[in-house]
Amino acid sequence: MRLADLIDSRIVDADGRDIGRVGDVWLIQNGPPIGVFGAALTVDALVIGRFGLASRAGYEREGVRGPAPIAWYLRRRTAHRQVVRWSDVLAIEEGRIRLRLREGDLGRPSIEDVRTTGRRVSAGLELLDRQLVDPDGMMAGKVDDLAIELKDGGAPPVVTEILAGPGALARRIGGTPGAWLASVDARLRGGSRDPAAISFGVVARIDDHVTLTVSREEVATFGFEEWVRDHVIEKIPGS
């Protein structure tokens, strides 16, 4: 499934009460080895709350002061949000995630609380919407979405692929703009609505951008760039 399906799904606790939406997904690097990247990222926890500006502002991290009123307001929105470990998830239904626990039993750790090995990565804040850069330093698109492979027996799902391109982005944008973007993209790519998938095995490193080990020309998102280059830019003298 896609990360975009997880984010913004409703969460229902063991008593059947709706306790909010998935605001963010925390990943941890302790999955099976995948290519150059090493251990794959797995889904560690779901954070309850709206995934808006508050989560993305980064005020939950230490040291971010910000203009005082903005910092105060956004910190209030994001501090001490409830967190659901993946082991507490019972089932995933359409647009809904069912938990084993009751709302009161949920903890409120911060992302810096390290309980297991490896650093937690917040998918929404540190992975999604990051620039993809190839080994030559050329830009290869953005991390528009992630493909998650669910495992049997309640093992945490593994992040297998990065989905890039307007096809993937459209789902996250949602609404009429998203649908419009999806149809434009489909028309430009000749009908297929599958987003371009980049296996996590070719990801070298994640810091403030995601570095790949393959040249951008090998990534499926290059198709449009190639088409424009061949049919438009090359035709103009001086390119």
Partner 1 sequence: MFEIFLGILTAFGGFVDIGDLVANSETGARFGMRLAWVVVVGVIGIVIFAEMAGRVATMSKRPVFDIVRERLGARWAFVNLGASFFINLLTVAAEIGGLALVIELVTGLNYLLWVPLLGIAVWIVLWKLRFSLMEKVFGLSGLTLIVTLFALWRLDPGLHRTVQTVGFAPPASEGWAVYAFFAIALLGAAMTPYEVFFFSSGAVEDHWTPKDLMVNRLNVYLGFPLGGILSLAIMGAAAVVFEPHGVSLSHLSQVTLPVSLAFGKIGLVLLLYGMFAAIFSAALETALSAGYTMSQFFGWQWGTFVKPREAARFHLVVLASVVVGILIALTTIDPILITEYSIVLAAAALPLTYLPILIVANDPMYMKDKVNSRPLNAIAFVFFVLLVIVSVATIPLMIITKAGA
Partner 2 sequence: MLPRGRERQSSGEVLLLATPPPGDAHLADAMCPADRPPPSCEKRFCGYPHPMRANAIRELPGGTPWQRRGRSRTASGLLITLLLVSAACTGPARTTSAYQSKAVDTADEVVSASRTVLLAAQLGDEGRSFAPTISVTVANAETDAETARDAFTSVQPPNAESDNLRAALLPTVQDACDVIGEVRIAARRADGDLSQVAAPLGQLADELDAFSTRYG
Using the rule CB under 8 A, which residue among 15, 95, 217, 234 binds partner 2?
95
Residue 116 CB, nearest approach to partner 1 (Å):
23
Residue 96 CB, nearest approach to partner 2 (Å):
8
| Stretch in the footprint of partner 2 (CB under 8 A) among 115-123, 142-150, 202-210, 230-238 | 142-150
The two tokens of residue 206 are 């994640």
- What 108-115 contacts at long range (C-beta under 8 Å, 24+ apart), as own/partner pairs, is 108/80, 108/81, 108/82, 108/83, 109/83, 110/60, 111/26, 111/60, 111/61, 112/61, 112/62
Bridge partner residues of 45 (DSSP): 26, 85
Binds 233: which of partner 2, partner 1, none (CB < 5-8 Å by kind): partner 1
- Site membership for partner 2, residue 176 (CB under 8 A): yes
For partner 1, which is the closer residue by CB, 16 or 238?
238
Provide the H-helix boundaries in the chain: 3-6, 53-57, 68-78, 166-173, 175-188, 222-228
Using the rule CB under 8 A, which residue among 92, 186, 214, 220 binds partner 2?
92
- Site membership for partner 2, residue 232 (CB under 8 A): no
- Site membership for partner 2, residue 32 (CB under 8 A): no
Residue with tokens 């789902």: 171
Binds 69: which of partner 1, partner 2, none (CB < 5-8 Å by kind): partner 1
Nearest one of 40, 187, 177, 28 to 116, comparing CA atoms: 28
Nearest one of 121, 87, 99, 75 to 22, comparing CA atoms: 99
Site string for partner 2, 97-116 (x = CB under 8 A): -x------------------
| Stretch in the footprint of partner 2 (CB under 8 A) among 87-95, 107-115, 132-140, 203-211 | 87-95
Residue 175 CB, nearest approach to partner 1 (Å):
8
Instruction: Answer for the pair 22, 46: CB distance below 8 angstroms, yes or no.
Output: yes
Mind spelling out the 3-state secondary structure of 16-34?
CCEEEEEEEEEEECCCCEE
Binds 239: which of partner 2, partner 1, none (CB < 5-8 Å by kind): partner 1
Q: Interface residues with partner 2 (CB under 8 A)?
A: 1-2, 5, 89-95, 98, 147-150, 152-154, 160, 174-179
